Structure 1
Amino acid sequence: MGGLTAKEAHSDLWRKKMVKSEGRAGDLSVEDKEEMKAEDVSWSWRYYAWDYRVLRTFARHESSGDVIPEELVVSLQRAKKMFVATELQRQIFYALVDQTLFGNKLSSPRDTVSVIADLKRQHTSWKHAEGTHWHTRFSHLLNYGAGYYSYLYAKCFAATIWEKTCKEDPLSLATGSALRSKFLQHGGAKDPADLMNDLVGGETVRYRDGGIVPDITSLCNEMELEKQ
Structure 2
Amino acid sequence: MRILICEDSALLREGLVRVLEDAGHEVVAGLADAGRLDEMVDARAPELCIIDVRLPPTWTDEGIRAALALRARLPQLAVLVLSQYVEERYAADLVTAKGGALGYLLKDRVADVAEFLETIERIGNGATVLDPEVVAQLLSRRTRDERMLRLTDRESSVLALIAEGRSNQSIARTLHVTEGSVEKHITAVFQKLGLEPDESGNRRVLAALAHLEHGTPRPPSDSGGISPQAGTNR
- Give the TM-score of the pair, scaled to structure 1: 0.25
- Structure with more contact order per residue of length (Cα contacts < 8 Å, sep ≥ 6): 1
Greater share of helix: 1
Q: Name the structure with the higher strand share.
A: 2
